[in-house]
Amino acid sequence: MATATAEARNVPAATDDGHKHKKNALSDGQGRLAWMLLAPTLLVIIVVAGIPVVMSIRESFFTTNSGVDPATGMVAGGEKFVGLQNFTNIFAGENIVKGTWGSMDRFWNAFINTTMFTIVCVLLETVLGVAMALIMAKAFRGRGIVRAGILVPWAIPTIVSALMWKLIFDEAGVMNRILGTQILWLADTGASFWAIVIADVWKTAPFIGLLTLAGLQTIPAEVYEAAKVDGASAWQQFVRITLPMVKPTLVVAVLFRTLDTLRMFDLPYGMVGVGKYRVETLSIFAYQEATQTRYGPAAAYAIILFIYVLLVAFLFVRVLGADVIGDSAPPKTKKKKRRGGSDEARTGEVAPLEAMGGAH
Amino acid sequence: MTTATTPETTESHLSREEVEALAHPKQSPRARIGIVASYVGMGLIVLYCIIPFYWMIVSSLRLPTMGRSTDFLPNPASIENYKGVFSGVNNFGRALINSLIISGTTTVLTLFFGIVAAYALARLAFRGKAAVLWIIMACSMFPLIILIPPLLKMFSSTAPFEWFPYWVNTYQAVIIPGLSFGLPLAVWNLTAFFKQMPVELEQAAMVDGCTPAVAFRKVILPLAAPGVFTTAIIVFIGSWNEFLVALTFLQAPEKQTATVAISKFTGTTGFDTPYGTIMAAGVIVTVPLLLAVLAFQRRIVAGLTAGGVK
């Protein structure tokens, strides 16, 4: 790869005679070949994602005419253009509900729920995940067992783990028995929020731990030895060496977790149900609107969520420098990395892959 | 006399134990405590991960009437719940087959498109590569819920989509949106994998007279089999675990996937939440995935670390 891409750039610049193609079959007509190979995938993406998103935007400017036939559930009336009404309605305060954060429009209630879930879950997952990674990095043996254990929560379908936690958090369930409490975890109370947080953290903290461990393993031991010689305490080593060096991996992992939590659906749906305002997320609200044939508002909420996700992703990339497409670094950097094996280049997403993937 | 650096002289000054101690300077009591603590920590991590799953297994092995029991061991142990899962009401066998068809098709399609795209991204130099990577990345980021309103309207032939065939309760209604998250995942994983392979492989093949296409088919693809296989597992698990789209478009019991069926269980008793049956079904759905994951854990971790995890 490195040679091919580097030469592809150099050859046309160096010589412009008719024989340049013969010199390197690898770079011959790469552009056209690449687009030919990419065309099916891009086409599929346009069809399965691009067009529906555009349709969703269109949908958000329309509303379904009232007149639902209760017998069949089919819409009788068709639709009409309402402009931005689906968006402005969220400020109209026509649909006030009472959730954890006081009485407000159902949209804002869901919006705040989504945000709070994301902040609390991702924060706890990151702290717990990094702690797990530090523990795993210390151990010499038994990593395989831990890795196997860590993949258990990841492999269980989220809806199944939601039902599993529903049983655990049942009012007569094992959680109340262990705690010796009578908390109504799943009755749309303030505790429901924390029940879902616990379930989400359980499923994904080990995962962040796994990704962080991959980042940790790329830090050369000499750095720590040098720090010890200079008299750095364990905490100083963690803050000054471990965190900065693991940051590229961690930021990407946290970004993906954040985006994932922003669209949370399965856990609140499975554990508490729909129409429960203390745990209703934007995805659940939009889902319920759509299944009640209120496609316009549903699309509007989904689009707001989409914009929210884009904003968060943008902030991560710009402010925290998340290197999400780390593979697209200029070919020359790649070449150095491969040939020289220099350690300062071993950051970003490629490094963990090499660390974990290169071992088999 | 001054040649104190020779081995003989060193041995005369230091006993064997002292040499051993010098050879392992890190084995101070404090470091030993650290190692023990890390093993305790690892034990705690494993317990943290598997105790809730243990609860699922235990609960599935109780009598159907004892679904909410909080005994730490099933008393008495019974496989009634597992029989109940496949009883007529729940029709879970059918749900498993549906899941298998949908996840299998999604995986095959995803790999088919993903392999060629990933190869281009990993090996070829062309303008607009960064843009393509961003498009694929964006595709793995956007919330699936945004597909639901327009597709539900379209697949249910609601105005203005009267011309569209009624696709609710069809496999393709779930497979097509499924590609939108499977494809980015596959492209990402496979690109990372292809990049790991030395470019000299193709160069050697071409020196021997292969065209790039033949080099890809005869040299790269067989060697990339582990990466393709890992990607297949990850995509398959993602598709198997998918819930929102399946819940929306598969409303008829005979078309539901396993995840949707579990969420709608009525159980053998017909009233109250049939936790025992649900847990048994959960175990049935999870165990094959767990076996696959445990068998290929190294590769899967490598694949997941490669990026885009949805």
Distance CA B146, CA A59 (A): 11
Establish if B249 belongs to a structural domain.
yes
Is residue A18 within 8 angstroms of chain B, CB to CB? no
Taking contacts as CB-CB distances below 8 angstroms, the residues of chain A near B48 are 202, 206
Establish if B213 belongs to a structural domain.
yes
Q: Are residues B56 and B87 in the same domain?
A: no
Mean pLDDT computed over A226-251: 89
Nearest to A302 among B38, B126, B146 (CB): B146
Q: Are residues B301 and B156 in the same domain?
A: yes
Using alpha carbons, select from A219, A309, A122 the residue that is nearest to residue B143. Answer: A309
Tokens read off for B265 = 């269980």
Q: Is the pLDDT of residue A9 over 50?
A: no
Nearest to A155 among B34, B136, B286 (CB): B286
Tell me, what's the pLDDT at A15?
41
Residues near B56 by beta carbon (within 8 Å), at least 6 away in sequence: A160, A164, A167, B279, B282, B283, B286
Q: Are residues B146 and B243 in the same domain?
A: yes
Most confident of A8-17, A227-236, A281-290, B155-164: A281-290
Taking contacts as CB-CB distances below 8 angstroms, the residues of chain A near B160 are 78-79
| Cβ atoms of residues B79 and B151 within 8 Å | no
Is residue B30 within 8 angstroms of chain A, CB to CB? no
* Per-residue burial over B168-181, b = 16 or more CB atoms within 10 Å of its CB, e = otherwise: bbbbebbbbbbbbb
Q: Is the CB of B45 less than 8 angstroms away from the CB of A206?
A: yes
Interface of B with A in 150-209 (CB under 8 A): 150-154, 158-160, 176-177, 179-180, 183-184, 187, 191-196, 199, 202-203, 206
Number of domains into which chain A is organized: 1
Scanning every residue of chain A, which has its alpha carbon at the shortest distance from the alpha carbon of B141? A259
Establish if A317 belongs to a structural domain.
yes
Q: Are residues B248 and B175 in the same domain?
A: yes
Q: Whole-model pTM?
A: 0.81
CA of B49, closest CA in chain A: separation in Å? Answer: 6
Q: Is the CB of A302 less than 8 angstroms away from the CB of B149?
A: yes
Nearest to A302 among B132, B148, B294 (CB): B148
Q: Are residues B230 and B102 in the same domain?
A: yes
Nearest to B124 among A30, A58, A296 (CB): A30
Which domain covers residue A268, as residue numbers?
A: 106-324
Establish if A13 belongs to a structural domain.
no
Supply the ipTM of this predicted assembly. Answer: 0.84
Tens digit of each residue's pLDDT (9 = 90 or more) over B36-85: 888 888 889 889 999 999 999 999 998 877 777 888 888 788 888 888 88
Q: Indicate the pLDDT class of residue A266, thresholds 50, 70 and 90.
A: very high
Tens digit of each residue's pLDDT (9 = 90 or more) over A308-347: 999 999 898 888 877 776 644 444 333 333 333 333 333 3
Q: Which of B27, B126, B132 to mutate to test the interface with A (most CBs of A within 10 A)?
A: B126
Interface of B with A in 235-294 (CB under 8 A): 237, 240-241, 243-244, 248, 259, 262-263, 273, 275, 278-279, 282, 285-286, 289-290, 293-294
Establish if B178 belongs to a structural domain.
yes
Q: Are residues B48 and B87 in the same domain?
A: no
Chains A–B, number of C-beta pairs less than 8 Å apart: 366
Report residues of chain B scoring pLDDT below 70: 1-14, 18-27, 266-272, 305-310
Tokens read off for B94 = 């059918």
Interface of A with B in 191-230 (CB under 8 A): 202, 206-207, 209-211, 214
Taking contacts as CB-CB distances below 8 angstroms, the residues of chain B near A252 are 307
Distance CA B174, CA B245 (A): 6
Tens digit of each residue's pLDDT (9 = 90 or more) over B193-220: 888 888 888 888 888 888 877 888 888 8
Taking contacts as CB-CB distances below 8 angstroms, the residues of chain A near B119 are 37
Distance CA A154, CA A175 (A): 22
Q: Indicate the pLDDT class of residue A218, thresholds 50, 70 and 90.
A: confident
CA of B139, closest CA in chain A: separation in Å? Answer: 7
Establish if B112 belongs to a structural domain.
yes
Q: Is the CB of A350 less than 8 angstroms away from the CB of B195?
A: yes
CATH number of the domain enclosing B173: 1.10.3720.10
Which domain covers residue B47, as residue numbers?
A: 7-60
Cα A66 to Cα A63, A80, A87, B287: the distances in Å are 9, 10, 19, 47
| Cβ atoms of residues A302 and A284 within 8 Å | no
Q: Are residues B241 and B280 in the same domain?
A: yes
Scanning every residue of chain B, which has its alpha carbon at the shortest distance from the alpha carbon of A273? B263
Taking contacts as CB-CB distances below 8 angstroms, the residues of chain B near A174 are 55, 70
Interface of A with B in 130-169 (CB under 8 A): 132, 135-136, 138-140, 142, 144-161, 163-168
Residue A233's Cα: distance from chain center in Å? Answer: 34
Q: Is the CB of B244 less than 8 angstroms away from the CB of A151?
A: no
Q: Are residues B35 and B161 in the same domain?
A: no
Tell me, what's the pLDDT at A193?
93
CA of B222, closest CA in chain A: separation in Å? Answer: 17
Mean pLDDT computed over A83-107: 84
Q: Are residues B52 and B158 in the same domain?
A: no
| Cβ atoms of residues A63 and A80 within 8 Å | yes
Tens digit of each residue's pLDDT (9 = 90 or more) over A345-356: 333 333 333 323
Distance CA B282, CA A156 (A): 8
Nearest to A75 among B117, B142, B158 (CB): B158
Scanning every residue of chain A, which has its alpha carbon at the shortest distance from the alpha carbon of B239? A157
Q: Are residues B33 and B105 in the same domain?
A: no
Residues near B38 by beta carbon (within 8 Å), at least 6 away in sequence: A135, A138, A139
Mean pLDDT computed over A245-252: 87
Q: Is the pLDDT of residue A252 over 90?
A: no
Scanning every residue of chain A, which has its alpha carbon at the shortest distance from the alpha carbon of B202? A26
Interface of B with A in 66-125 (CB under 8 A): 67-68, 70, 113-114, 116-117, 119-125
Establish if B190 belongs to a structural domain.
yes
Q: Are residues B95 and B219 in the same domain?
A: yes
Distance CA B64, CA A275 (A): 29
CA of B219, closest CA in chain A: separation in Å? Answer: 15
Using alpha carbons, select from A208, A248, A245, A202 the residue that is nearest to residue A227. Answer: A245
Give the three-state DSSP class for B160: coil
Q: Is the CB of B305 less than 8 angstroms away from the CB of A142?
A: no
CATH number of the domain enclosing A280: 1.10.3720.10
Give the three-state DSSP class for A275: coil
Q: Is the CB of A151 less than 8 angstroms away from the CB of B300?
A: yes
Establish if A204 belongs to a structural domain.
yes
Residue with tokens 């497409």: A325
Percent of chain B exceeding pLDDT 90 equals 26
Establish if A342 belongs to a structural domain.
no
Tell me, what's the pLDDT at A69?
55
Nearest to B199 among A4, A174, A259 (CB): A4
Low-confidence winner among A70-74, A180-184, B131-135 (lowest mean pLDDT): A70-74
Scanning every residue of chain B, which has its alpha carbon at the shortest distance from the alpha carbon of A149? B46
Establish if B210 belongs to a structural domain.
yes
Establish if A180 belongs to a structural domain.
yes
Establish if B15 belongs to a structural domain.
yes
Number of domains into which chain B is organized: 2
Distance CA A46, CA B151 (A): 14
| Cβ atoms of residues A52 and B146 within 8 Å | yes
Q: What average pLDDT does chain B have?
A: 83
Establish if A135 belongs to a structural domain.
yes
Helices within B61-128 (DSSP H only) = 80-85, 92-123
CA of A178, closest CA in chain B: separation in Å? Answer: 10
Q: Which of A135, A160, A265, A312 to mutate to test the interface with B (most CBs of B within 10 A)?
A: A160
Neighbours of A348 (CB within 10 A): 22
CA of A67, closest CA in chain B: separation in Å? Answer: 13
Neighbours of B2 (CB within 10 A): 5
According to DSSP, the β-strands at A102-105 and A96-99 are antiparallel
End-to-end alpha-carbon separation of chain B, Å? Answer: 71
Establish if B36 belongs to a structural domain.
yes
Q: Are residues B190 and B127 in the same domain?
A: yes
Is residue A31 within 8 angstroms of chain B, CB to CB? yes
Q: Is the CB of A139 less than 8 angstroms away from the CB of B42?
A: yes
